[in-house]
Amino acid sequence: MAELRRRLGILARSPLPVLIEGETGTGKSFLAEHVLHARGAKGPLVVTDLSAVPDSLIPAHLFGTRRGSYTGSVDDQAGVFEQAHGGTLFLDEIANLDSDTQRRLLLAVERGTVTRLGDSRARPAAPRIVAATNVDLAQLVREGRFRHDLYMRLNPAARVRVPSLREREDDLPELIRFAFAEAARRDALAVVVPERVLQRLVSYRWPGNHRELKLFAGNALVFSLAQHPAVTVSEAVVDQLLDTSTAPPAPPAITGAPGDRRIEISVRAGRTFAEISADVERQYLTALFQAHGGDLDRIAVELFGPGANRRKVHLRMNQLGLRVRSLRGELSSCATP
């Protein structure tokens, strides 16, 4: 972490592009918005999560549109590249781009201009690019799934990797105390975290990293207040929260071949039908991921037929909170004797 802070301190004073890698919830967006786009920067900070934009709208979102370029387009619209001109453009989940959009992005970065969809005039658009991903982008390049020339434009020499919480064992006790202090700050409460509770939390793997820890601290504070007049986080509250809301479910069992699948799904109670359906779909995709050894192309073919686009599967998995890199790590650990 000391080396990461030193490296970020240097890059924050530089106009160079930066690539941030790390698991979901490790704080990549925070670093881009609050460290790399320093206070007092001349241009604006524009943030866009590419996993949240439908495939068909990504070119318009990035590069803008001219009035009448498609049905319903009634005004000229600048894309995020133009909006961030002279400032910082943060592209989160950049690995989600398809090959054609990767090509367009490369041209925009090289030329410092964009041409809106349906237009012929190039417009200045030269922001500093900060990109983030929760996958190994270099591995995607080796597999031919991400353009090498675009990867080089993202400046892998300035790449930074944000470690997961489970890699920061020495820091975890203070990070946990800090999370509870932040959760209690609004009501000016003092929080006591007993040593046994702290050790229980330190031993937990925190698959959602800082994002999960922050949410957990808020929940634990609420439930502790409900059970005790003083804000002391009890073992019972910690066990209840870790064993239900944050503990990952066991992988579903799958048998049979494509076209004749049998998958054992656990239907758990939820607040809405949408929540229950999402949980079932999450188990279903996890089982297919295991059956196909993590090959998204084969999963797409089984689900949608020949010629199906793997990006459709990848996007849906992201929307459901299933991270391909983490799932592949679990596959590797299971395969290791």
Whole-number Cα distances in Å, 148 to 154, 242, 309: 10, 41, 21
For 145-156, what is the mean pLDDT?
94
* Residue showing tokens 């892998």: 156
Q: Work out the average pLDDT over 69-82.
A: 77
192-214 pLDDT tens trace: 889 999 999 999 989 899 999 99
pTM: 0.68
Domain boundaries, the chain: 2-161, 176-244, 254-323
Binning pLDDT at 50, 70 and 90, where does residue 335 land?
A: low
In whole angstroms, give the CA distance from residue 307 to residue 95: 21
Q: Same topology for domains 176-244 and 254-323, yes or no?
A: no
**What mean pLDDT is predicted for residues 102-118?**
93
Say how many CA atoms lie within 13 Å of 144 toward its Cβ: 0
Q: Distance between CA atoms of 55 and 64, rounded to whole angstroms? A: 15
For the residues 6-17, what does the mean pLDDT come to? 91
**Confidence (pLDDT) at 246:** 44
Mean pLDDT across 98-108: 93
SS3 assignment, position 132: strand
> So what's the architecture of 2-161 in CATH?
3-Layer(aba) Sandwich (3.40)
The phi and psi torsions of 79 (rounded to 5 degrees) equal -85, 180
Q: What is the 3-state secondary structure (H, E, C) of 246-313?
A: CCCCCCCCEECCCCCCEECCCCCCCCCHHHHHHHHHHHHHHHHHHHCCCCHHHHHHHHHCCCCCHHHH
Q: What is the pLDDT of residue 282?
A: 86
Residue type, 309: N
Q: What is the pLDDT of residue 55?
A: 85
176-244 adopts what CATH topology?
A: Helicase, Ruva Protein; domain 3 (1.10.8)
- Cα angle 243-249-254, degrees, rounded to a multiple of 5: 160
How confident is the model at residue 187, as a pLDDT? 72
Distance of CA 210 to the CA centre of its chain: 12
Instruction: Give the pLDDT confidence score for residue 243 in this predicted structure.
Output: 63
Q: What is the CATH number of domain 254-323?
A: 1.10.10
Q: Which residues contact 45 (CB under 8 A, 6 or more apart)?
A: 33, 37, 84, 87, 88, 90
Q: 93 — phi, psi (to 5°)?
A: 60, 50
pLDDT of residue 191: 84
Q: Does 72 score more than 70 pLDDT?
A: no
Strand partners, 65: 77, 117
- Among 100-104, 144-148, 246-250, whose mean pLDDT is lowest? 246-250
Give the separation between CA 128 and CA 130, rounded to whole angstroms. 7
198/183 Cα distance (integer angstroms): 16
Q: pLDDT, tens digit, for every residue of 211-246?
A: 999 999 999 888 887 655 556 787 777 877 876 544
Does the pLDDT at position 45 exceed 60?
yes
Q: Above 70 in pLDDT, residue 71? A: no
Residue with the bigger pLDDT between 269 and 97: it is 97
Condensed to tens digits (0 to 9), the pLDDT of residues 13-32 reads: 888 999 999 999 999 999 99
- Residue 131, classed as helix, strand or coil, is strand
- Measured CA to CA in angstroms, residue 209 lies from 9, 34, 42, 226 at distances of 23, 19, 32, 26
At 290, the pLDDT band (50, 70, 90 cuts) reads confident
Cβ atoms of residues 273 and 283 within 8 Å:
no
